A = this chain, B = another copy of it.
Amino acid sequence: MGETSALVLFSGGQDSTTCLAWALDRFDRVETVGFDYRQRNRVELDARPRVRAALAAAFPRWAGKLGDDHVLDLAALAAVSESAMTRDVAIAARADGLPNTFVPGRNLLFLIFAAALAYRRGIARLATGVCETDFSGYPDCRDDAIKALQVALNLGMATRLVIETPLMWIDKAATWRLARDLGGEKLVDLIREETHTCYEGDRAHRHDWGYGCGHCPACALRAAGYGAFRAAG
């Protein structure tokens, strides 16, 4: 398909922004895709165009590579989430520590939609910031699940698509380090200022690692990773 290109699953958070920078560093043309699944708050979706614009403004060498952005409406995900759970499943889900609205296999869905879009756009690489190191309780972020899905996708679409997972085996401190390797302190600052990770959608509280409530699991992970990154120098 001529130039090397990639489609990045891009949520506007720290991980997918680092993944986007990784792809911009590596490929000639990079498109992004996001999913509107009626997120609890819109802060995450709002971050997407802001982060893209900031990347293009701060890194002229990447600006020309940054292609179209796609946002797909996944209202059906909310519908599945709202479907009543049986008592057995509800108890099993609580034992997992996951919320009762959890839709299992969500990342598989995102990847299949992204693969269909990539096919139509003539793009042969997907890149996603999933990671099994900071165990999140989401089995569809694990390496086995992603690799099995690549096989299913390529059989089911009669194509050759590769799912790239540059963050799979690194922890949050190493993710900050990867950002610095790719774009220096300028990229670290951009990620701190512009990306959004907090589950609560909090943009009112500012910390050295960015904005957020500071208490939710996502904030705790981001803060600890940033602390370890700075401590290592």
Contacts and interface: CB of A to CB of B under 8 A. Distances in A.
A134 to B, nearest CB: 17
Interface string A146-175: 001101110111110000000000000000
Given A76-B74, A113-B80, A120 B148 contact: no
Q: Place the interface of chain A in its size category.
A: 35 or more
Contacts of A76: 72-74, 76, 113
Contact of A139 (B70, B122, B139, B155): B155
A116 interface: yes
A117 interface: yes
Please state the number of chain copies in the assembly: 2
Interface in A1-59: 1-2
A49 B75 CA distance: 22
B116 A103 contact: yes
Interface of A: 1-2, 70, 72-77, 79-81, 83-86, 88-89, 103-109, 112-113, 115-117, 119-122, 139-140, 142, 144-145, 148-149, 151-153, 155-159
